[in-house]
Amino acid sequence: MKLTLARFYWPADAVVDTLNFPEYFQSDAGQVSVSIIDIPLTHKSIDALLTPPFYLEQWFMGQGLFLDTLCGVVIDNYYPPEHPDSSKIQRVFSLLAEELDVVPVINKDDLADTAQWEHFVEQMSILHEFNQLLSEQLTAHKLIEFHTRYKMQFLAHSQPAYRRLGPLVANIKHEPSLYEFAHQYRQHMMRLLRYSATLQNHTNVVMHLQGYFRKKVGDEARQRLTTLIHQYRLGEIPLSEVKTTLRELQATAPHGWLAQQRYLYPWFIDYDL
């Protein structure tokens, strides 16, 4: 399997740095190699991009990129901030971040920020799994299964957006075109994932998952989990400690629905985000 990224850099004659990015990710279905396509931005291509109406998909196809396979865009500016042309690349970044509904976009400098890097990887991971689904023989059952796997992940990002996404899936059997529905679903899903997951939302999610063990594990194990959730809510421990304990309880008292949840068992298994 392959994950494709586009790196747009400016100016076109810049000597680009090596993008500090893994050569591959280990996914739940095997190794995923990373392919980075470098595309120089020129005044002409930027002007074409920034001229309304914004036909972004056609513009991307003109660069040899296709939104059904692209999993991320990195914007790389080699002009200093005070350079008069730097504002153009900032406009490009803002346009793509606002208008590109399907593919996550990040500024190269932000890759060094742990929170932004993890959010970007999370979006790429989910989009990659969904794109693999689109490349197979698509069925309504597979789409419903995908949504089920990600319910808790979506809930951690935005409860209102999660509640809007559910009815789409509930009406899937009434959709005239499954592929059109899948593209519509992907658009809504990636818009949801733009919201940063919050401590409060994560707390609500892990408390919800805690409920599955209420009658399956002993008082000591339940109390330990309750204490960890409280410590996480106070900022005393990372979320990973709570998730590790949930996985341990799942191993002790298996639950079929929990075993599916990407919130506990992510597609990119090296990134417990």
Tens digits of per-residue pLDDT, 111-141? 999 999 999 999 999 999 999 999 999 999 9
Question: Tokens 């690349």 — which residue?
Answer: 89
DSSP calls for 26-62: EETTEEEEEEEEEEE--HHHHHHHHSSS--HHHHHHH
* Cα 181 from Cα 191, distance rounded (Å): 15
For 188, how many CA atoms within 13 A lie in the half-sphere containing its CB?
18
User: Which residues are CB-contacts of 134 (< 8 A; sequence separation ≥ 6)?
Assistant: 68, 179, 182, 186
* Amino acid 54: pLDDT: 84
My answer on whether 151 and 102 are in the same domain is: no
Position 67 pLDDT exceeds 70: yes
pTM: 0.93
My answer on whether 160 and 86 are in the same domain is: no
Beta bridge partners of 268: 27
What is the DSSP pairing of strand 105-107 with strand 70-77? Answer: parallel
My answer on whether 34 and 145 are in the same domain is: no
Query: Number of structural domains, the chain?
Result: 2
My answer on whether 22 and 83 are in the same domain is: yes
The answer as to whether 33 is a domain residue is: yes
My answer on whether 253 and 147 are in the same domain is: yes
- Report residue 140: phi and psi, to 5°: -65, -35
When pLDDT is cut at 50, 70 and 90, the band that residue 273 belongs to is low
- The alpha carbon dihedral of 47, 48, 51, 54 has a sign of negative
My answer on whether 104 and 156 are in the same domain is: no
Question: Tokens 């597979």 — which residue?
Answer: 142
My answer on whether 164 and 74 are in the same domain is: no
CB-neighbour burial class of residue 142 (10 A; exposed 0-12, middle 13-18, buried 19+): middle
My answer on whether 174 and 243 are in the same domain is: yes
My answer on whether 37 and 150 are in the same domain is: no
The string of pLDDT tens digits covering residues 1-59 is 999 999 999 999 999 999 989 999 999 999 999 999 999 999 999 998 899 888 888 89
The answer as to whether 92 is a domain residue is: yes
When pLDDT is cut at 50, 70 and 90, the band that residue 272 belongs to is confident
Domain range holding 39? 2-112
